[in-house]
Amino acid sequence: MGKRKLIAALDVDSLDKALSLVDQLASHVGMFKVGMELYNAAGPEVVRQIRRRGGRVFLDLKLHDIPTTVARTTRVLTRLGVSILNIHAGGGLAMMQAAASAVQDEAAVQGIEPPQVIAVTVLTSMDEITLNTQLNIPGTVEEQVLRWTKLAQQAGLHGVVCSPLEIKTIRETCGPNFTIVTPGIRPAGSEKNDQRRVMTPAEAVKLGATYLVVGRPITAAENPAEAARAIVKEIESI
């Protein structure tokens, strides 16, 4: 159960580096996150290679464009057989609805299980000062996250990406079946790096996170497999 909740972030810049980590971690994590850096370096082949190794993929490209473009793009990504893909809630209701519909339609055409489509809310590197003064969005981070989350649920999306600090509110608002993917997870004693809203794995799961995304504490560890095992052990100890 703990393993299934853990997503290892492959935040590297080449196919070889990514597959080396996949080979080390495949038995210890439930999914791999492929983000913009890796996808732009290696293209869709990295997704195909992970899936050939039996891995599941969260494709973290944060699509944000006009509804037609996002819908057409999500169709292409659905054909890769990813388990989760994400779009940005800031694109609005019509864009999210178009993506949700396109994914279901394409999966039916291909005869495959549709990926979950989730929305990115407020990036975990942002705080209230950034939100208010740089983006001119009033209110607290939590208020903005909840506004975008409600919009995503209205659009028919499966869930959202949010920081650990918003998990409890979203779980209470959106119910037990809503998917909450949580980056900003840092085991006790590890560096925060550029994440500002962080929490330990155990704390996040207790609050209701569905999946935990962990990058550097695993991938930069001297022994990535052992680091992943330690996180799974922490999750399972709850």
Residue 192 pLDDT exceeds 90: no
Considering the candidates 3, 17, 33, 62, report the single residue annotated as catalytic.
62
The proportion of the chain whose per-residue pLDDT surpasses 90, expressed as a percent, equals 88
Q: Helices in the chain by DSSP H: which ranges? A: 2-5, 15-25, 36-42, 45-52, 67-78, 93-110, 128-129, 141-154, 167-174, 201-207, 216-219, 224-236
- Find the radius of gyration of the CA atoms of the chain: 17
62 is catalytic: yes
Residue 193 pLDDT exceeds 80: no
- What CATH number corresponds to the domain at position 19? 3.20.20.70
**Residue range 188-205: average pLDDT?**
69
Predicted local confidence at residue 26, as pLDDT: 97
Residue 137 pLDDT exceeds 90: yes
**Residue range 184-199: average pLDDT?**
64
Straight-line distance from the first to the last Cα atom of the chain, in angstroms, rounded to the nearest whole number: 11
Confidence grade of residue 184 (pLDDT, cut at 50, 70, 90) = confident
Domain count, the chain: 1
CA angle 216, 140, 171 (to 5 degrees): 65
**Residue range 213-223: average pLDDT?**
95
Instruction: Print the domain residue range for 127.
Output: 2-236
